A = this chain, B = another copy of it.
Amino acid sequence: MNAENKLKELGLELPPAAKPVANYVSAVRTGNLVYLSGHGPLRNDGTMITGKVGTDLTLEEGYEAARRVALGLLGSLKAEIGNLDKVRRVVKLLGMVNCTPDFIDQPKVINGASDLLVKVFGDKGKHARSAVGMNSLPMNISVEIEMIVEVED
């Protein structure tokens, strides 16, 4: 089962590519690698999920925020490469969780993104990653993730 069909089967709709509001872009391709900018957790209504996980958000809400970040990353990736079936491998995530200094469950939050990627891409979705705590993120978004993907020639 390829990635585009899998998305349909899962009933998932990708948002359009993120629109940076400054002198940068949402994705850059170099050779067979695509570098995706840090994305935030976009709701269907176009607003962002904000607040610190563990304080303003439960762990479950943090997981859902990370899942939404992954959808946004795939939306920007699709805009860059045209078709997600061209993905050879999800290489690496840096998953950043907005939290207080005593919150230590970042991996369980970022699993929301990792689980989605493996659902969509299967073994090709299994990536290296770091999941870490941040004292603050832009606009107080709850999760920010950047991603590197290897794509076909």
**Chain A interface residues toward B at CB < 8 A:** 21-28, 30-33, 35-38, 52, 89, 91-94, 96, 99-107, 111, 114-115, 117-118, 125-140, 144, 146, 148, 150
Contact = CB atoms under 8 A, between A and B. Distances in A.
B134 A133 contact: yes
B128 A144 contact: no
A126 B38 contact: no
Contact of A137 (B25, B35, B104, B139): B104
For the complex formed by this chain, how many copies does it contain in all? 3
19 contacts: A22-B114, A23-B125, A24-B114, A24-B127, A28-B128, A30-B33, A35-B91, A35-B148, A94-B94, A96-B132, A100-B135, A100-B136, A104-B136, A106-B137, A107-B138, A128-B146, A131-B138, A132-B134, A134-B134
B23 A128 contact: no
Q: Which of A32, A103, A107 has the most CB of B within 10 A?
A: A107
A35 B136 contact: no
Contacts of A144: 130, 132
A129 B89 contact: no
Given A38-B130, A130-B146, 8 more contacts: A24-B126, A24-B127, A24-B129, A28-B126, A28-B127, A101-B135, A107-B138, A133-B134
Nearest to A119: B23
A25 B115 CA distance: 12
